[in-house]
Amino acid sequence: MMSFELNLDRVRDNVAKATTEDLLDRATVFRAGMEPAALAIIDEELKRREVTSTLIQHHWENRRSNVLSQDAVAQRCSYCERPAIVQRWGWFKLFRRLPLFPWRTRLCDEHAQSNRQVTSGRKE
């Protein structure tokens, strides 16, 4: 198993640049899959932004019933870093035009509503 050293300076920079919604997702639905040191930085940044524990709890309650999860960790959207709420079949396309094979995609609320098609180069 490969181990890595958590670079807390990079985590702090990333957290400082993140949106409040992204931090709320990390502190709630992605919490089980995160390092404790990173969570401490996220929790501190949310306090600095004056996000109350009531708002964090409200975000958790709204998200937890809708997200796809595996081993208590929310699955990420195939298009972005937001939590996925639905899984659909799409086409893996070569050069964004030639459908090669069907594959399952995970979509957040935004991408599920827009019905975007899966293209090559997107992460799974």
Domain ranges of the chain: 8-65, 67-124
What's the pLDDT tens digit per position in 31-75? 998 999 999 999 999 999 999 999 999 999 988 888 888 877 899
Give the tens place of pLDDT for each residue, 68-111. 888 778 999 988 999 999 999 888 888 878 988 898 989 998 88
Backbone angles phi and psi of 120, in degrees to 5: -65, 150
| Closest listed residue to residue 25, CA positions, set 62, 50, 70 | 62
What pTM does this model have? 0.75
